[in-house]
Chains A and B, each alone.
Chain A
Amino acid sequence: MKYSAMLVAAGVLSAGTAFAQGAPIKIGVLYPLTGGGAVYGAPALVGHQMAIEELNAKGGIMGRKVESLERDDKLNPATASSTMKELITKDKVDIVLGGLASSVGLAMTEVSKQEKVVYISTIPKSIQITTDKLHKYVFRTSANTDQEGEAMAILAGKNKLAKICHLELDYAYGNDLEAGILKAMPKYAPDAKIVLTLKPKLGATDFNPFIPQVMAAGCDGVLSGLWGPHFVSWVKQAAPLGFFNKIKWISGGEVGSHEIAGELKGEYPDNVISNTYELWYKGNDPSHKEFQEKLAKKLNTQETPQWAALGYIGVMYAAAAMEKAKSTDPDKVAEALEGLSIGTPVGTLTIDAKTHQANIGQFWGPMVKKPDRAYRMMEPAEYIQPK
């Protein structure tokens, strides 16, 4: 019983300070920081922290200091749900950002609905967040699977693919992306035909059951949703067989990011066309240069990761919405977010008032060798932004 008394005291204390004049604005954020998800969560958090530092250097939000409460979601939706509730009920955060896995994003969407606190989904792409499960308080600043699928269909059409092999990971993101691609194909690639669809499992490390099937199918192109380590393992196992010599590999899942190119270096295969949210070496907005330089300084490397931009944009949106609403009241902030346009390192973005989805685009392009670099770069990188 001693401990509950302690908790009660702590709860009262924080409640008391939250209503004081000029008290800091609290932004809660969840990213996976342990296990496999940390590959993406850790850099996203760096971007998040950078945005908070910038805000405070400029005098905070509405003249109030900004405090960032950062938690590990452990890639587990129930943990995310408990932790988000804790941030809301104990720490009295004004808004919650983050997430990575679709299931975590959906769990956070549910808590946001119950607790009537604004949640901005900064990485999860699950289409459900902005369709079936959409409610007043949830918003998304990352791309969704329909947008990504449409871009892939456009590229399939541009590259005049006729026989397509379709590879998706057999879980929510893969299935949603598949649906997004199939929806857009008739419009953008009417002549293309999908001759084979294969779905390796999430977390697969051995792709030998699939590689020979794709090679035997005689496709001229692959549409793939294999991200991160899945793509790397596929490349390593397929490249020795000359897999990439004839097949064009059009891929979502950000395998065009520098994180993948910089790691695979000489092993990165030919004929890959993919996407990334941001490229350290190419911006589409004047503010990108400043953003990238700051990030490079913070991380002590010129070649900065793309995920930081997503964490950064989430904070920018939270700040802009509160400034516009002149309040931290969730109802007012949610209303302010609807239709809100802001300038970001990847250009001006607008959150749709109806779907609560930001029209964030991605860079798409072929990954080419550069004579003066050990790794491939995306060139030309085209910024495809949904209408």
Chain B
Amino acid sequence: MPQRRDLIASAIVVLLLALLPLAGSRYAIDLTTEVMIYALFALSLNVLIGFTGNISFGHAAYFAIGGYACAILLTTYGWPLALALPAAVVLAGLVAAVVGYFCVRLTQIYFAMLTLAFAMLVWGVAFKWKEVTGGDDGFTGIKMPEIIAHHVGYFYFTLVVVAAGIAALWVICHSAFGLTLVAIRENSVRAGFIGVDTRHMRWAAFTVAGTFGGLAGALFGMYHRGMYIENAFWTESANVLIMVLLGGIYSFIGPIIGAAVLHLLQTFTNQYTPYWPTVLGLILLVIVMVLPDGLIGLVRRVRARGGRP
């Protein structure tokens, strides 16, 4: 069960976020919307990395499937949001289930490379299936329901969906299922001995990750009123992987922090210099050389030194 302190803290964060539009800055609203979407995306990937120890190089695939499917259903087929969004998420989950079936037979780098191969196929389909996806011109001009067409409306919509998504992931990760995954990560051989079907568990984790990645993608597409093949490319997978590692893979909120920090840094750096690669490169060097547990690890260490719990 969640500790009371965590619940209260989460409630306060959601409440404060809900008050943000009252401050009146359009820019802050947009930027926070983007951060929330990336936070869900990163968190979904960590179901796989943090809880099974498997690194995916192809998580953008499910993000893109969710984004494209929602965009196409809304715009081309004129579905209502209440149908298009769930359908897109289910589709992303189904594809993740199929891909996961093959990928979980492998481990380590072979697993990572197979996820990459599948993701690049998704990219290839988005690229070549021009009549449906718009090809490399992108799919723009997404039709939005009136109620969330305005940026404040979309902010609240994102807040509700992301909060619900994060809560759902929290429950999943702290269920018996989540604890079993941790056991697999720590010692898969031993977990196998005590009767855990490791492959099935990893498969389930893969599917969950893909499903919530698809949800983040759907939000992303609607926010930008467009989906682009770049969102399915391996660079996008690398970006979300860095978010997760930056925040720290061994804690639930690590990826959320990582997503926020990376996206904000990226945004602010671009206001001053095109030398973003240098900035990110130096940050990564610091993480690798002195902060192997990510930002959350740093916070914990500082706290431990201060003698606080």
Contacts and interface: CB of A to CB of B under 8 A. Distances in A.
Interface of A: 1, 3-5, 7-8, 11-12, 33-34, 71-72, 76-78, 81-83, 85-86, 89-90, 102-103, 106-107, 109-110, 114, 126, 128, 133, 171-172, 175, 202
B274 A133 contact: no
Contacts of A82: 30, 34, 224, 267
Contacts of A86: 27, 30-31, 267, 271
Given A8-B25, A11-B26, A81-B226, A133 B136 contact: no
Contacts of A133: 140-141
- Residue among A1, A72, A76, A78 with most chain B CB within 10 A: A78
Given A11-B25, A78-B231, A107 B30 contact: no
- Residue among B127, B138, B225, B229 with most chain A CB within 10 A: B138
A103 B137 contact: yes
B-side interface mostly: helix
Nearest to B228: A77
Contacts of A106: 137-138, 140, 226
In the A-B complex, the 7 residue pairs with the closest CB atoms? A11-B25, A33-B274, A90-B27, A72-B274, A77-B228, A7-B28, A89-B26
A78 B225 CA distance: 10
A34 B27 contact: no
A1 B35 CA distance: 13
B136 A72 contact: no
Given A4-B32, A7-B28, A34-B277, A77 B267 contact: no
Contacts of B267: 82, 86
A85 B225 CA distance: 12
A354 B209 CA distance: 48
Interface string B11-26: 0000010001001111
B264 interface: yes
A89 B26 CA distance: 6
28 contacts: A4-B20, A7-B25, A7-B31, A8-B23, A8-B25, A11-B24, A11-B26, A71-B271, A76-B228, A77-B138, A77-B228, A77-B230, A78-B220, A78-B226, A86-B271, A103-B137, A103-B228, A106-B140, A110-B224, A114-B225, A126-B137, A128-B137, A133-B140, A133-B141, A171-B127, A171-B135, A175-B135, A202-B136
Contacts of A107: 138, 140, 224, 226, 228
Contact of B136 (A71, A83, A102): A102
B245 to A, nearest CB: 21
A72 B31 contact: no
B187 interface: no
A175 B16 CA distance: 49
B30 A85 contact: yes
Contacts of B135: 171-172, 175
Nearest to B260: A3
Contacts of A5: 23
B270 A71 contact: yes
A202 B128 CA distance: 12
B101 interface: no
A82 B271 CA distance: 12
Contacts of A175: 130, 135
Given A86-B271, A106-B138, A106-B226, 12 more contacts: A8-B24, A11-B24, A11-B27, A72-B270, A72-B276, A76-B230, A77-B226, A78-B226, A78-B228, A78-B230, A102-B137, A114-B225
A7 B23 CA distance: 10
Contacts of A72: 270, 274, 276
A113 to B, nearest CB: 8
Interface residues of B, number: 35
A1 B18 CA distance: 12
A343 to B, nearest CB: 32
Contacts of B228: 76-78, 103, 107
A172 B27 contact: no
A171 B226 contact: no
B238 to A, nearest CB: 13
B140 A7 contact: no
Contacts of A77: 138, 226, 228, 230
A58 B24 CA distance: 37
A357 to B, nearest CB: 17
B243 to A, nearest CB: 15
Contact of A4 (B23, B141, B276): B23
Contact of B16 (A1, A12, A34, A83): A1
A335 to B, nearest CB: 23
Given A3-B264, A81-B224, A103-B230, A8 B28 contact: yes
A110 B264 contact: no
Interface in B107-148: 127, 130, 135-138, 140-141
Contacts of A78: 220, 224, 226, 228, 230-231
Given A4-B32, A71-B271, A72-B276, A110 B226 contact: yes
Interface in B9-58: 16, 20, 23-28, 30-32, 34
- Residue among B30, B140, B229, B231 with most chain A CB within 10 A: B140
Given A81-B224, A82-B267, A171 B27 contact: no
Interface string B225-244: 11011110000000000000
A76 B224 CA distance: 13
Contacts of A71: 270-271
Contacts of A90: 27
A128 B229 CA distance: 17
Contacts of A110: 140-141, 224-226
Contact of B30 (A1, A8, A89, A126): A89
Interface string B206-234: 00000000000000100011101111000
